[in-house]
Amino acid sequence: MLWIKLLKVYNRNIFRSLSIIIVILIFVLLVLTPNIVSALLSSEFYSTVIEKIDTHYMITGTVSIDNVELLKRFVYEYDRPHRNIWLILEARVDAVVGSREFNGFRLYTGYPNHLDAVSFIAQSIYGRGNVSRGEIIVGSSVAVNVSSVLSVAVSGDRETRYFNFTVTGLYDPKPIMYVRAGPFGYESGVTTFGAPQGYIHPSDFEELISSIDAKFLYYRVVVMYEKDFFRGLDLGKIIERLNQSNMEVKKSVSALADVRDEYDNLSSQLAIYTFTRTFINVGIYTNAIPFFIGVWYFLSINIDLLIGDYRREIAILRARGIPSRRLFNSLIIYLILLTILASIVGSLSAPLWIPVILSSIGVEAAYDIESLIDPVASLGVAITTIIIVFFTLYRKRKIFRDILPSDAIHRYEYGVEAIHESRIGRFTIIMFILGTIKLVEWLLNINVFEYMNRVDNLYIFIILAIYGMISGFLNIFAPIFFIYSSIEILTHSRRVVRFLSRVSSWLVRGGLRDILANYVYRSPRWMSRAAFISSLMIALMIFSLIYSARTVSFYNDYTRITNTPDIIIPLPKGVYSSFDEYKSGLATYLEDVEGVGGWGVGYEIFIEYFIYNNKNRTDIPGRILVFSSVDDFFNVVYLGGSWNYYGLVDIRDALGSGIILSDRFLGYLENLMGYRLGDPIKLGISYGLPYQGAFPPVPERPELGQVIDTRVEGVLYVAPKRYDGYTTLEAIGPINISLYNVQPVLYIDVAEGYDVADVRRQLSSIGLSSVPSIEETPDIFVGLGREFQIISSYSYHIYMVLGIVAALASIFILSIQHVKSMLRDVVILRARGFGVRDIFSFMYSSSLYIVIFSIVLGILVGYLSGMGVSQMNIDGLVGGRLDYPLNIGLTGLLDVLVVVLLYLATPLPAIIRYINVNVSEGLRRVEH
C-alpha cells in the first residue's frame, strides 16, 4: 500500500506531527468545553431548580419579605422624583386650606391595599402650616360627584421637555381630599386625565397617551376636593392661591425633570430572561468563535508548514511519477489519523482538566467524571474536526500541483512568500476599516441604537439601522478583523517594521541592528501570522478578564442584596395555550399552597427589577407594578377563589410613579401576547402574607411550621430600553413563549426560629417536594442574565486558558520554525565571526518583534473590546458597574504580566537549541 509508505514519510518529522496534534487537541477541547461546562454547572446549579426546569430557567430576583419596608426605603432614600410629586400635593393643600383655620384634612383611599402608601404620603404632608393630622378612612368608597382634577405632565421630547399643567373643574368641593399619585394608569372610580369622572372615557385616555411622544415622562396627580370642605370659603381666593401655587408646582416638576436622568440611571435595568440550555450552549459557543478562528488559523499555518517540510519529498515522489492527487490523499489520511488520535485524547482528558481550570477560579462543582464524558458529543467533535482539517488541507491542494519535480533537486527554503512580497488585499483594507470603526465605537462608548431613537429622518434611521446590524456582527469579529488587518498592513510598511524591530533589538549591537530590521522586514509571512494568533489570544485574554470581572463584580453586588428564599418548590411546569389557562393552572397550586400556611393570602403582580446606580448609591432592588388598574389586578389574582387580597400593595401608590412604560411597550404586549389593556402583563405572582394596617396582623411568633411568606412567581421577560434621558421597560422576544410555557416556583421564607426542614417536611407531606435550601444552593435566583453571564464568564476562563495555551504553542512552534529557518543564516553569521551572544540577540530580537506585535495589539484590542462589550451588556442586558474592581484589576494585570513573560520566554528554548550549533556541521546541513 503506497499510502502506508507515505505515512511513514510524513511521520518522520515527529515535531511537526506533535504540533499538529496539539493544535487539533486544543480545537477539540474548545468544541467540548460548552458541553462540559454546562454539565458541570448542572451538577452545581441545575441539580436545584434549574435541572428541573429543563427547557427554560425561571430565575428572578426576589426580595423575601416586607415589601413595605423596602418600598419605604426606596421612596425615602432614592426616589426624589416622587418627592417632587408630594411637593405638588403639599402646594395644593397649602393653596386650598392655608388661608383658614384648618383643623385637618382627610386622605382617603378606596382600597385597603393602598393604605400603606397613602398613609405614607399623608405623613409627608403632616406638620406643614396649619395642616393637622387627617383622618385615614379605609374600606369604603366615597361618591365624588364633581371634583377637581389636577394633571401634571412632563414630556421629554428629545432635547426639550415641556411642562403641561392643567386644572379642570372645581365643582362643589368637599372637605375631603382624595389623593392619588401614580403613573398614568387610570382607575375605576377615579377621575382620569384632565377631566372629571364621567366626562372622560378610558379610551380618551389611551388616545391621549398614544398621542404623546413615546419618550415621555408622565406623572399624574389627582386632587379631588369634596365640596363640604370648601363650604363658606371664598372660592375665588382659593382659585387665586391655586394659581399662585402653579409656579411652585412648575418648579417642582422642573426639578423632577432635572433629576430624571439620574433617576433613569437608577432605574435602568431589569434582566429576566428565558434561555434554554441549548441557548446557553449556543451562547458559550458564540463566545468561543474568536478562539475557534485563532486555533483554526494556527492549524492552517501548521499544515502549511507541514507541506513545506515535505516539499522536497513531495517533489521527489512526483518526479517518480506519483500523481499529486495521491499525495494529497495520503496526507489527508495522515492528518485524519492525527485528528482521531487528538480527538480521543481530547475527549477523554477534557472532563479531567476543565474542572481543574474551573476550580482554579473558585468554581467547585461536585461531579461525576463519567457523566461528563459524552461519547456522542465526542464522536461529533471528532467528525467535525476531521471535516475542518480536511477543508483546511483542501484549501491548500493547489500546493501539491505547484510543487514541481524540479523542486526536488533545489533546496527548499522557508519564507518563500515574504511579508513584503504579499499584497495587501482589498478585503484586508475592508477588515481594517470595519475593525477600526468598532474599536472607536467602543473607545467612545457609542450606542448607535440610542441615536436611532433620536433621528427624524427616515433615511438616516435606515442607515443607522444597517450600521447597527453591522455593529452587532462586529462585536464578535472586530477584534479579529482589526488585529489581522493591522498586522498585515503594518508588516508591509518597512518603516513600521524597522521601528518595531529596532524596539525589540536593544540586545543587538549597533551595526547588526540595522541589518536585523531589514532581515525581519523580509521574513516569511507566517511570522506575521504568529503575531496574529498571539495578538488575538492576548486580546481575548484581556477581554475575558475585563468582561468577567465586570460581570462578576456586578453580580456580586447583586447577590449581596438579594435574599434568596429558604425553600424552593418547583411546581409542575405547564404549557399553556392562553393566559387564562395559565392563570387557572397556577391557581390550582396556589390553593394547595394556601393550605400549608393557613393564612389569608394575597397575590401581587409585579415585575422584578433591579435598579442599579453607578453614582455612589447602593443597589436598589425593587418592583414595579405594570398592570394598568387595581381592578384588573384583582381580576388576575382572583384565581382560585379562596383567597383574599389584603396583602396587596399597589406599588404605584407607594411609589407615586415607577418606571414609565411606553406605549410601545403596551404595543408589544398587545401584538405579542394578545394583551388587552386591563390584562396583566406580568406573570410574576407573589403569594404572600398580608401586610400591616387593616390586614390580619402578622403574628409575632408564628406557630411552628407556619409559613409566613410564600410566593409563587411566574416569569416575565422584559428588557429595559434606554432612551434619551429616561428608560422604559420593553418586552423582549420570547415573551409569548414565557407566558405560556411557564414553570411556577414556590419560594418560601421560613420565620426566624423555625426549622426549615420541618417546613419542608410539611410541604413534602402534601406532595410539594422542595429543592435544596439556600445553604445548599448558590445564589441562582438573581436573574438568568446573571446565570448566563456567570456561565459565560466561566467558559471564558476556560477559553482563555485554551487560548493562551494555543498562543504559547503557536509562538513556540513558530519560533522553532523561525529559528530553524534562520539556521543557515545563523551559521553564516557564526562563520563570519559573530559570537554566540551576537547570534542570540539577533535571533531573539527577530522573534521578539512578534511578541511586541502580540502584546501591543492584543492589549489595545482586548481592553477596548472588553470595556465595550461589557458596557454593551450593561446597557442592553443586565446593568453593571462601570468601574473596574481593583483587586480583580490587579489580578488581571498580574495575569497579563505572567503571560507576557511567558511570551518573552517562549522563543528561548528554540534559540538555545540552535545557538550553539557547530559551524562546520551547520554549514554541511544547510548546504546539502
Partner 1 sequence: MSSTSYIDVRDVVKVYETATGGVTALRGVSFTVDKGELAVVMGPSGSGKTTLLSIIGGLDRPSAGEVYVDGQPIHKMTSRQLDEFRRRNIGFVFQFLNLIPKLTAYENIYIPMVARGVKDGKKRIEYIADALGIANKLDRLVEELSGGEQQRVAIAAAVAADPPIIIADEPTAELDGETIERIMDFFMELKSGGKTIIIATHDPRVSRKSDKIIVLEDGLVRGVYRGGELTTSEVAVKGYRDYLRRRLMEIDDELRLLGERYKRGELSIDEFHKRYNRLREIKAFLEDELKFG
What residues make contact with partner 1 under the rule CB under 8 A? 319, 405-406, 408-409, 413, 415, 418, 509, 511-512, 515, 518-519, 522-523, 824-825, 827-836, 838, 916, 918-921, 923, 926-927
Q: CA of 300: how far to CAs of 381, 389, 416, 512, 530, in Å?
A: 18, 8, 17, 33, 11
CB of 314 to partner 1, least distance (A): 14
CA distance 250 to 236: 21
**Of 902 and 919, which CB lies nearer to partner 1 in the complex structure?**
919
CB of 496 to partner 1, least distance (A): 17
CB of 20 to partner 1, least distance (A): 27
| Strand pairing class (174-182; 216-226) | antiparallel
CB of 523 to partner 1, least distance (A): 7
**Of 263 and 844, which CB lies nearer to partner 1 in the complex structure?**
844
**Of 265 and 846, which CB lies nearer to partner 1 in the complex structure?**
846
Picking from 390, 488, 541, the residue whose alpha carbon sits closest to that of residue 866 is: 541
CB of 923 to partner 1, least distance (A): 7
Residues 218/184, Cβ–Cβ less than 8 Å: yes
CA distance 6 to 327: 8
H or E element, residue 729:
strand 726-731
CB of 310 to partner 1, least distance (A): 18
**Of 268 and 846, which CB lies nearer to partner 1 in the complex structure?**
846
**Of 512 and 748, which CB lies nearer to partner 1 in the complex structure?**
512
**Of 237 and 837, which CB lies nearer to partner 1 in the complex structure?**
837
- The residues near 625 (Cβ < 8 Å, ≥ 6 apart) are 604, 605, 606, 607, 633, 650, 651, 652, 658, 682
Q: CA of 671: how far to CAs of 271, 381, 667, 677, 730, in Å?
A: 21, 42, 6, 12, 13
Exposure of 898 in the CB half-sphere (CA atoms within 13 A): 11
CB of 832 to partner 1, least distance (A): 5
Instruction: Put the strands of the sheet holding 620-624 in their side by side order.
Output: 620-624, 602-611, 684-688
**Of 232 and 833, which CB lies nearer to partner 1 in the complex structure?**
833
Residue ranges in 98-173 assigned as alpha helix (H): 115-125
CB of 505 to partner 1, least distance (A): 13
CA distance 102 to 130: 6
CB of 518 to partner 1, least distance (A): 6
Picking from 264, 270, 271, 269, the residue whose alpha carbon sits closest to that of residue 79 is: 264
Instruction: Fill in the DSSP letter of residue 418.
Output: B
Question: Could you tell me the three cell numbers for 858?
Answer: 492584543
Residues 532/877, Cβ–Cβ less than 8 Å: no
CB of 41 to partner 1, least distance (A): 52
CB of 548 to partner 1, least distance (A): 43
**Of 336 and 828, which CB lies nearer to partner 1 in the complex structure?**
828
**Of 426 and 832, which CB lies nearer to partner 1 in the complex structure?**
832
**Of 13 and 141, which CB lies nearer to partner 1 in the complex structure?**
13
CB of 315 to partner 1, least distance (A): 10
**Of 317 and 771, which CB lies nearer to partner 1 in the complex structure?**
317
In the chain, the amino acid numbered 151 is S
Helices and strands per DSSP (H, E), number in the chain = 32, 16
CA distance 714 to 53: 13
CA distance 896 to 541: 8
CA distance 118 to 236: 29
CB of 484 to partner 1, least distance (A): 24
Question: Could you tell me the three cell numbers for 679?
Answer: 390584562
* 211, burial (CB in 10 Å: exposed 0-12, middle 13-18, buried 19+): exposed
**Of 484 and 521, which CB lies nearer to partner 1 in the complex structure?**
521
| Strand pairing class (174-182; 106-108) | parallel
**Of 172 and 838, which CB lies nearer to partner 1 in the complex structure?**
838
CA distance 294 to 803: 8
